[in-house]
Structure 1
């Protein structure tokens, strides 16, 4: 969300509170922990690579982070999409391509140095065999299409490096699409280049991620895509009126009608109305700060601005019920086959609900769903089967299209 980090509230005090008060899998029920072990859990958005770029840590052992191997095993996590995030500022500076490659290098290093714990994942066909080895599987998702610049050929390059979805834009309009956070929309949806990006991603077998996009861009991406799309970490605007970053009911239904999935994030700003309002206020204040800095009315640095904001706007307490309510609402709105999870762990600076503080805590979510009457079969769909179905369909479409005679290709 922020220009260089994902959300407000990144202070050290919050980090202390996060790991001092973490609810662990052991606090859930035996039935929930059993299902967490048995089910395939797919989390479509974890920002560990951003943290690795700040400071390299061996995530094969316990770390003061929301994602590492011991916590993942405790929580039953099987497939953890690593977010290759670049900011609008890095796009403006021409550094996004380089930084994306360095992030991919970091994930590869993590897997290569710990082959008994992690494995890179390029296709859903390999999930069952690899999870039997007790590995945490690491596919890649690119958050913000900035690294491809204006070069369609870079899509094939990044697909070759293992990127399996692209969030078309992030917190600012880019060459591809308008952002939900942008006060003024440049393209009124997708750009002409963005329309080409959608078609090429379909051809290559890359999932189109509509999180962070403006309403018009979401609608156009869903309409243009020949495959189901995914909102890898988006909640429902029903709970956060006026917060365009979350999906309207109309857009959620359009995604589902195309066979896609909405992956519910855990961050307070997505699931809690008061926290969402504070996030919106941050962006308004930041825009004013940028105008003042450009006009020479302030010498305050971005870090100083953020530190002042964090001090004056501490995170609000939010309970796990906020996430459960989102899932309930989504299931009633679009059906059990179109809801999943995309936590945004390591990307929301610790502003997370009680009971969902790290990847060890999926059993708490499962226990909550069981308490609300969901069957284990339905919970399995939410935990990962729905996301894998979309991934398989996107991959199959690409294979079908590439195998078809040229005259029959669309």
Structure 2
């Protein structure tokens, strides 16, 4: 996710909750099912502070020992680039460096990790307790304005692309942008979606504006995903989370909404604070632009951010907040269209009590079991639905 959570008053907390408190039945199901988490920000974390994730890495939320404890089978590694890197022309370099980091994890520990390029290879590659890693690109900025780079990233293993992040880009409008540029997808963005369909790269509608999602659904020939979104029902007015209308439209086309764990997306207060922050930040930038044009001193961004953080402490939420989202999504969309995309290592430790690291999927399983979900349905939510969509996208590309 990478959204300056410290600035938003969401303080860092690396405390991990063990899944040992989960029932034996929950832990057994988590180990036996194929758990697919579509959004883990380990690569960008490795670039900021390297750790060997094949062994215990307590300052991170993803490492091999805890992934195995939690039953994680497939981890989509977020290849994140920022709007600032897009503007500077460095997004392509950053993306490739992060993919290198994922490949290095496998090279260092081939007995623990493997690159997964096709859902048909899951059973073969996970033998021996391997955790399978697939790059998922967060922000389409690394392709620049060169459509051919999509094929290059597909060759490197990228299997979904989040079209935009926290700012409008060449492809699409961002849900966070105060002023939209395109009114949805750009003309180039329409070509990007069609080319992703052709190559077999899943289109990810998390982060983009409502109108951009509508454009995607108009153009795509295959199901799409929301790799890490909350349900807007719980955070009214927060465009970053998906609306009931658009979630239903994604499901109608066979897609899946992967529900996020981060506090900022499951807490109405935290989501409201985030919206207010972006509005206040935009107002400050506009005011500073006017001051600069008039030759006057600009207001301090650091002072603004410190004051904002002090005035907006992060709320504490519990695992029930995520379970509520899953329950609601299942009732709205049907169990075949719901999955999980945690945002581990992407929200500065601001996660619900009970879902603090990749060790904690059994806690989620136990909560779903207690709420009456069958084990067969839980398997779908944990990963079966995502693997189905991925397989359909791959099959259509081969045709």
Q: TM-score, normalised by structure 1?
A: 0.93
Distance 1:25 1:10, change over 3 A: farther
Distance 2:103 2:345 in 1: 18
1:62 to 52, 56, 60: 56
Distance 1:71 1:11, change over 3 A: farther
Say yes or no: does 1:6 pair with 2:17: no
- Residue 326 of structure 1 corresponds to 325
- Residue 242 of structure 2 corresponds to 247
- Residue 221 of structure 2 corresponds to 226
Residue pairs, 1:69-218, within 5 angstroms: 69-218=64-213
Q: Deviations over 1:244-285 (max 9, x none)?
A: 011111101100000000000000111111111111122122
Distance 2:354 2:236 in 1: 25
Q: Deviations over 1:1-57 (max 9, x none)?
A: 6xxx42423799943x431xx321101111100001100000000011110110111
Distance 1:299 1:242 in 2: 29
Distance 2:335 2:377 in 1: 7
- Residue 273 of structure 1 corresponds to 268
Residue pairs, 1:307-322, within 5 angstroms: 307-322=306-321
The alignment partner of 1:139 has SS state of strand
Distance 2:178 2:17 in 1: 38
Distance 1:13 1:188 in 2: 31
- Indicate if the aligned counterparts of 1:78 and 1:131 stay in contact, CA closer than 8 A: yes
The alignment partner of 2:76 has SS state of strand
- Residue 298 of structure 2 corresponds to 298
2:46 to 40, 44, 52: 52
- Indicate if the aligned counterparts of 2:112 and 2:131 stay in contact, CA closer than 8 A: yes
5+ unaligned residues in a row in structure 1: which ranges?
401-410
- Residue 404 of structure 1 corresponds to none
- Indicate if the aligned counterparts of 1:262 and 1:339 stay in contact, CA closer than 8 A: yes
How many angstroms does 1:340 deviate by?
0.1
- Indicate if the aligned counterparts of 2:9 and 2:314 stay in contact, CA closer than 8 A: no
The alignment partner of 1:166 has SS state of strand
The alignment partner of 2:161 has SS state of strand
Say yes or no: does 1:282 pair with 2:277: yes
- Indicate if the aligned counterparts of 1:11 and 1:307 stay in contact, CA closer than 8 A: no
How many angstroms does 1:153 deviate by?
0.3
- Indicate if the aligned counterparts of 1:8 and 1:306 stay in contact, CA closer than 8 A: no
- Residue 30 of structure 2 corresponds to 36
Distance 1:277 1:93, change over 3 A: same
5+ unaligned residues in a row in structure 2: which ranges?
none
The alignment partner of 1:374 has SS state of coil
C-alpha RMSD over aligned residues: 1.7
- Indicate if the aligned counterparts of 2:9 and 2:312 stay in contact, CA closer than 8 A: no
Say yes or no: does 1:388 pair with 2:383: no
How many angstroms does 1:289 deviate by?
3.3
How many angstroms does 1:223 deviate by?
1.9
- Indicate if the aligned counterparts of 2:8 and 2:308 stay in contact, CA closer than 8 A: no
Distance 2:299 2:110 in 1: 48
